[in-house]
Chain A
Amino acid sequence: MAEQQDRFGLGFRPELAGGILSNAAKIDLVEVIADDYFDAPKKKVDALKLLAANIPLTLHGVSLGLASSSAIEQARANRIERLCDRVQPIYWSEHLAFVRAGGVEIGHLAMPPKNEQTIEGAVENYARLRGAKPRLENIATLAEPPGSTMDEASWVSRIADETGAKLLLDLHNLYANALNTGRDPLAVLESYPLDRVRSVHLAGGRYLVKENVRRVLDDHLHDVPDPIFALLEALAARTVVPLDVVIERDGNYPPIGSLLAELDAARAAVARGRASPVAWSKKVVARGARARLAADLETSLARYYGGKSAKHEGADRIGLEMARESYAKKRALGRTH
């Protein structure tokens, strides 16, 4: 069997179809948003199968809400399993996020309180999935979720350890969270369980400013900035397994040539990293203290993010307000699932 090599691809969007398929020789894989095909008519799923026959394809879910102290809805899990059965992707992925609580749909991915209860919830939800298991993606957050008792890397590490899951490491999310909390992105990268990383997302974003506070928003509407390629190089230097690297772009589309140039930059970054390996060792993450009941926290966050309540007690007031405004904009744009 041929050894798998690093693969480099793009998020498949209808607007990019012509450019992607006429340059398929330069693209190793495409990532498709699974939720766009749930309950889709047969002809739409048949088209997805034809796409999968043309170019290796992965499915990326955005609405399961795996990282929650509440159980996932089995019907949602069944839908992605059915789609995977029909389309046979090379793998599928989902986010370590919650998207609903207390009957409120946030309309987008939100980071839950990073504590023992959401770890337990994520592990149980992961076990509820039948069939092939997803790679789990870290998400970005504008606000430090109240009730968190551990940092992001420790939380993800614990979930990965207890599920055995492979990770999809979104470097722009990691970068945004690091800057938003005043941490060094490279130090955050090194505290992640890099031995579990199999896929990588690259994306761009922009700064939001509120009351003189700047936060990075991961909006997928901008070019991949240089620090992200630097993080990719650092990651490649610290891992030995092949990586599937996908550039996500959801709008403000540049010519396909620009996206292909970003793919080439990603290839070069990985090649540089592989050429200069760095020793890395896995960190053991201890169990933390139990916090306030996570379900209550998630519900209060969901109500605040979903516009159902006007205030939240969390310490990161500005971040929470920014997050709420951002979720409201996304709901208004129809980016709901």
Chain B
Amino acid sequence: MNVFNWTGPQFLAFYFIFAGIIVLFVRYRAPRGHKDRSPNIDLGDPYLIAYLRGGAAEAVRIATLALIDRDLLDLHPGPEVETRAGVDPNIVRRPLERAILKACKSRQSPEQLMANEDFAIVAKLESGDVLERDGLLLSPAGQKQQQNFLFLIAALLGGVALIKMAIAVSHGRTNVEYLFMMCVIAIFLVFKFGKRTRTRAGEQVLISAKEIYNGLKHRAHTLRAGADPDSAALLAATFGIAALPVYAYAESQALFKKSVTGGSSSSGCGSSCGSSCGGGGCGGGCGGCGG
């Protein structure tokens, strides 16, 4: 059975299924990290979780929000942020927070914050490198391997389509535009879905973190701005800024509108599934005993 001898419509149907399987494979396949042992992450570090979920940009967003929640940064109309008067950036322990407080000695817009390359460098040193070392994010070598893999897949898709197009043209058939479009779309999807930064272990850890903090997500409505900054930071880091209650964090959320509405992730779509646990009904403790 030589598929290249099939008629046009038959081959289009075959190519649709063939390309679909490949795209799905690329979509759900997560690259292995370099570590074989059980994956781990410091579940109490919101910037680590944020970086895992959305890269340096997300770590910066969560750190900014946390500093506002702790009354170290002030929000101004615009919106803009500014380090509160009298706050010494050196009082904070985290390098990323220190960098943000130093930069915000003069008012900064969200665009300026996100464009600040120093933040990305600090975030990478503080969190990104740890995640790479622990096999949760792809190393540069891993990313290169991934890129080569995607090019190979693209070459396979393109090659199969080109062979058929060449055969069709050699038989005097010039209506190859549907096949060409399908090929272009398939290759586009391969690169869109396949360009990941998280390894398989990283995906697993993120799902586990969402599972652990699912109870926190279910009681998000009880959070008040400034009352429990640690929990708010962990909630936002794990599920995104949109998980914070709007009535308490509306102004902070407005700073990074794009995160609130779309959820940005520099790791592409990633796999932000796994948040649908049984809800707050489990884990109720043994409720005391003795009747």
Contact = CB atoms under 8 A, between A and B. Distances in A.
Given A17-B212, A43-B274, A220-B285, A23 B230 contact: yes
A205 interface: yes
B289 A54 contact: no
B213 interface: yes
A121 B284 CA distance: 29
B287 interface: yes
Contact of B289 (A22, A173, A221, A322): A173
Interface string B230-256: 110111000000000000000000000
B291 A15 contact: no
Given A36-B282, A47-B211, A22 B231 contact: yes
A327 B44 contact: no
B285 A248 contact: yes
Nearest to A22: B230
Nearest to A49: B38
A305 B291 contact: yes
Nearest to B216: A18
A51 interface: yes
Contact of B207 (A43, A140, A203): A43
B133 interface: no
A177 B291 CA distance: 12
Contact of A327 (B204, B274, B291): B291
Contacts of B284: 13, 33, 36, 250-251, 334-335
A18 B41 contact: no
Contacts of A95: 289
Contacts of A33: 283-286
B261 interface: no
A50 B41 contact: yes
Interface string A1-40: 0000000000111110111011110000000110010000
Nearest to B291: A323
A136 interface: no
Contacts of B42: 54
Contacts of B227: 255
Interface string A242-261: 00000011110001100000
B79 interface: no
Contacts of B288: 140, 203, 205, 217-221, 248, 250
A46 B289 CA distance: 29
A167 interface: no
B215 A326 contact: no
B63 interface: no
Interface stretch (A68-76, A108-116, A124-132): A108-116
A122 interface: no
A217 B38 CA distance: 42
Given A13-B283, A18-B234, A43-B207, A50 B291 contact: no
A221 B214 CA distance: 22
B200 to A, nearest CB: 12
Contact of A324 (B38, B46, B216, B291): B291
A18 B289 contact: no
A141 interface: yes
A46 B212 contact: no
Nearest to B46: A22
B209 interface: yes
B211 A220 contact: no
Nearest to B238: A18
B88 interface: no
B211 A22 contact: no
Nearest to A337: B286
A323 B193 CA distance: 58
A145 B43 CA distance: 45
Nearest to B204: A46
Given A60-B286, A219-B287, A17 B208 contact: no
A142 B290 contact: yes
A89 to B, nearest CB: 15
6 contacts: A23-B230, A95-B289, A219-B288, A220-B286, A323-B291, A325-B291
Interface of B: 38-44, 46, 204-205, 207-209, 211-216, 218-219, 227-228, 230-231, 233-235, 274, 277, 280-291
The 8 A-B residue pairs with the shortest CB-CB distance, nearest first, are A14-B215, A140-B290, A323-B291, A250-B285, A18-B231, A47-B211, A22-B230, A142-B291
Given A33-B283, A322-B291, 9 more contacts: A13-B285, A17-B216, A32-B283, A46-B211, A47-B208, A47-B211, A50-B205, A219-B288, A255-B228
